[in-house]
Structure 1
């Protein structure tokens, strides 16, 4: 791993390899904090961006890996996962749960495991892209590898 990489990016790379996923994270020269920005940078469909979004399910943080082309219907998601209420986490809750900042949250590399859900709409794409711990980082991954490395529960989010 490039020693010049940000420590958060190195943590994500290590977590991917520890989970048996052989992909290489990329630290880039520009921030891509939104799915649209990442898709523009990569030249791919915005739906192929696997957004890592943190929500509070009742009082527990959860991570939802969703297609950049989708908006999470929180009422629908709550019903699907058996929560009374799901709401977006605050910036402080995101940082506390993942150790990462909004716009750079990765599917892995968190200080403690976060219950994770994977949007089945991402199955449409052979190659997905996700943030790697900071807004100026990305990595390619297949749906199957993303499911494997996160231990996520598959769900429809909208």
Structure 2
């Protein structure tokens, strides 16, 4: 889907969804992001579901994966291309040993439920890494605080909005 084909939010999007979707929508507007979040008619909890709903390649989905750093239990967000698998050893080499984060941890640290974790607008500051494989695409789509919410951005905008380093964090 090209930038010119970007759908505009529907009328129900302004009232639909959750506090998380509304928080991300307000933050992106405040930051002057040119693409308002879109409310999908179906939940997109996986990269494949999001790609199908948007008519894009799975790799264009900027999925958010949360880990728990073992040393201090800090939340580590990896924003990765939907067609790649995050390599925990590569993440650990950059931020220290990490483990899986359960749904309660994800919700408490990000303010979002699994399947709707946005790369921005978290409940607390996260350690964040961006997968360099996202830069294969002109535009990518990320969750907007709810499984039905998404927004479009360039990989460069993602790096700018998050202030996160762009690194190799996926399996070869």
Task: Give the TM-score normalised by the residue count of structure 1.
Answer: 0.93
Residue 165 of structure 2 corresponds to which residue in structure 1?
Answer: 153
Unaligned runs of 5+ in 1: none
Distance in 2, matches of 1:115 and 1:5, equals 30
Q: How big is the shift at 1:28?
A: 1.6
Alignment partner for residue 15 of structure 1, among 27, 34, 50?
A: 27
Residue 5 of structure 2 corresponds to which residue in structure 1?
Answer: none
Q: How big is the shift at 1:5?
A: 2.9
Q: CA RMSD in A?
A: 1.4
Residue 86 of structure 2 corresponds to which residue in structure 1?
Answer: 72
Would the aligned equivalents of 1:16 and 1:149 in 2 still touch at CA under 8 Å? no
- Alignment of structure 1 residues 23-34 onto 2, 5 Å: 23-34=35-46
Match of 2:66, SS state, is strand
Q: How big is the shift at 1:145?
A: 0.8
Size of the alignment, in residue pairs? 156
Q: How big is the shift at 1:22?
A: 2.1
- Alignment of structure 1 residues 25-44 onto 2, 5 Å: 25-44=37-56
Would the aligned equivalents of 1:20 and 1:149 in 2 still touch at CA under 8 Å? no
Residue 67 of structure 2 corresponds to which residue in structure 1?
Answer: 55
Distance in 2, matches of 1:136 and 1:151, equals 25
Alignment partner for residue 126 of structure 1, among 138, 160, 166?
A: 138
Distance in 1, matches of 2:125 and 2:29, equals 16
Q: How big is the shift at 1:3?
A: 3.9
Distance in 2, matches of 1:12 and 1:63, equals 16
Distance in 2, matches of 1:87 and 1:70, equals 18
Would the aligned equivalents of 2:60 and 2:140 in 1 still touch at CA under 8 Å? yes
Match of 2:130, SS state, is strand
What are the Cα deviations for residues 8-42 of structure 1, in whole angstroms up to 9, with x where unaligned?
A: 11100122233342211011221010000001111
Q: How big is the shift at 1:62?
A: 1.0
What are the Cα deviations for residues 65-111 of structure 1, in whole angstroms up to 9, with x where unaligned?
A: 000011111012111x140x112211111001111000011111112
Unaligned runs of 5+ in 2: 1-8
Stretches (4+) displaced over 6 A: none
